[in-house]
Structure 1
Amino acid sequence: MNVTVIYGSDSGTTKAVAKKIAAGLQARLLDITAAKTADFEGCDLLVLGSPTYGIGDLQIDWEDKLGLLREATLTGKPVALFGTGDQATYADSFVDAIGILHDIAVERGAVIVGHTATDGYSYTASLAERDGRFVGLALDEDGQSSKTEARIAAWIAQLTQTPALSQAAVSA
C-alpha cells in the first residue's frame, strides 16, 4: 500500500507526530511546504495533519498551500486526518484544523477513514467532531501527551484494518 503523510508544523510537535504515523504506516512523509498537487493524488492512502492555532485556525503553511488540496482530485480516495491541539486552553476550538481539512477533502470526493471516539477528552466544541466522533485522530500534546503513543498505535491499527485500505494493499 502506497501511503503519503502530509503535515504542517511550526513548533515541531505535529511534525514529530507525523513522523511516528509515517513510520507506523511505512509512509512517505512530506511537509506541506514541499507538497505538490500530485502528492495528494498519487497514493492509496492520504494522511493529512495540522495543529490548530488561535481560535480554530489552520497552521500557516497549510493556509498558504490550501489551494493544492482544493485542486486535488480525491474522488474515492481514502483520506485520514490527524491534528494536535490544546483542549484546556482552546476548549471551544479543539483540533478545529482537521475539521477544516475534512470538509475540503470531502468536497474533493475523498472517503474519510480513521474516525476516533471523543471519550477521554474534555473540550466544549470542535469542528472536528461529527456525529459524536472526531473525523480523525485528535491529540493533545499539552495536556495528554502520555496518551499519544497508545492513541497513535490504535489509530494506525484501525487504518490498516479499514476495508478500502486492505483492498488497496492486496492489489498493490
Structure 2
Amino acid sequence: MPVPEFVTALRSKIGTDPLWLIGCTAVVTRGDAAAPQLLLVRRADNGAWTPVTGIVDPGEHPSVAAVREVLEETAVTAKVVRLAQVGVTRQVRYPNGDQTQYLDLTYRLRYRTGRPRPADDENTDARWVPVAELGAAGNRWGLSAAMQARVSAALADEAAPRQVLLEG
C-alpha cells in the first residue's frame, strides 16, 4: 500500500507516534432506484471488500479526494452527490507500529464512466455489486460494521450528514 509522501515526511519526524489524518470513503452507486449497484474493491493489504477509501492530501478538498481516489483505484469516474457521514475511527496500529486515527468523511458519488478494475496496487479486485447483496441477512461481501454504516449513510436520503463519534 503506498503511503502518501506527506505521511512519510511526518513519520520521519514523529516516528510511530499517533497521527491524526483526514480520510474519505467514496460510496459510488449506479443504476436505477429499483436495482442500484455499489462499487466495491478488495483491499490488497487485508483482503476485505470495502467502498473506495483514501487519505486526503494537504490542502485538498475531501470531496475532490473522494473523486480522485475512485479514479486512481478503480479507473472509474464519478461525481459527488453529497456528504453522507462524518465519523472518527478508533486508533489504528499498523504492523510496522505506526499509530493513526482518522476523521472519515463519507461521500455518496454517482457513476459517470469507466469499467472498474484494480488500477493501482491498493486493491486486487474492483466490481459492481447489487446493493441488495449488502443487507444484514445477505452480506456475502463481508463488509465490516463500520463500512456497512458508511454505506447505509450514503444510501439514505437524508439532508444532513450523520455524525459518528467513534466507529469500530
| TM-score between both structures, scaled by the size of structure 1 | 0.28
Higher strand share: 2
Higher relative contact order (CA 8 A, sep 6+): 2
| TM-score between both structures, scaled by the size of structure 2 | 0.28
Higher helix share: 1
Larger Rg: 2
